[in-house]
């Protein structure tokens, strides 16, 4: 069992590192948010689309680990920024609390990737972020819930997990 967890986490780390490497090779400078008036070349847009698909696959692996009550392992692989914001124990408690009344996850539909950039003036650290959204039906909930997995582009230009929420 522990070998499967270690293998899953190793695969998750390798996949996220691979995503960053592909994105860096495909785009000379990361452009997580397209600004008004700027347009991407076909190659840049294709690289961005591929990056989004790859990060969405990592996000799906993360929610599946959370489904298996492995939130601690998810936190272990998170960005240093996430580790400054919330302790491992508090993250595990928050995820368990948020998911407790929902029951087991059933159908989960991807809802897309959203790019954000924060300047650090609010409660979010400055940086580029990706939110991966899922519309998920849980066994004890009368209507579907929105799961969100958030990544930040760390200083080493690797997208890393920074947060999870369900509403």
Q: In what order do the strands lie in the sheet with 145-153?
A: 105-118, 127-138, 145-153, 159-166
The model's pLDDT over 58-75, given as tens digits with 9 standing for 90+, comes to 999 999 999 999 999 999
pTM: 0.78
92: domain range? 2-29+41-166
**Domain annotation covers residue 159:** yes
104 pLDDT above the threshold of 70: yes
Does 36 fall in a domain? no
Q: Given this model, what pLDDT does residue 32 score?
A: 46
Per-residue pLDDT tens over the stretch 9-28: 434 443 443 333 333 333 33
User: Domain for residue 144, yes or no?
Assistant: yes
**Number of domain units in the chain:** 1
34 within domain boundaries: no
The domain that holds 145 is classified in CATH as 3.10.450
Q: Is the confidence at residue 29, as pLDDT, over 50?
A: no
Mean pLDDT to the nearest integer, 108-116: 95
The span from the CA of 145 to the CA of 167, in Å, is 5
């Amino acid at each position: 069992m522990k070998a499967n967890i270690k293998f899953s986490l190793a695969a998750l780390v390798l996949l996220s590192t691979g995503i960053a490497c592909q994105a860096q090779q495909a785009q000379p400078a990361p452009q997580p948010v397209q600004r008004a008036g700027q347009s991407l070349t076909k190659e840049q847009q294709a690289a961005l689309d591929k990056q989004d698909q790859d990060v969405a696959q990592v996000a799906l692996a993360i929610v599946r680990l959370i489904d298996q009550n492995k939130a601690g392992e998810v936190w272990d692989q998170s960005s240093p920024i996430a580790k400054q914001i919330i302790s491992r124990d508090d993250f595990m408690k928050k995820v368990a609390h948020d998911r407790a009344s929902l029951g087991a996850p059933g159908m989960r539909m991807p809802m897309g990737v959203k790019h954000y950039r924060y300047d650090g003036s609010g409660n979010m650290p400055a940086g580029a972020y990706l939110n991966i959204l899922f519309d998920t039906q849980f066994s004890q909930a009368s209507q579907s819930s929105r799961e969100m997995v958030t990544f930040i582009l760390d200083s080493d230009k690797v997208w890393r997990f920074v947060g999870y929420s369900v509403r």
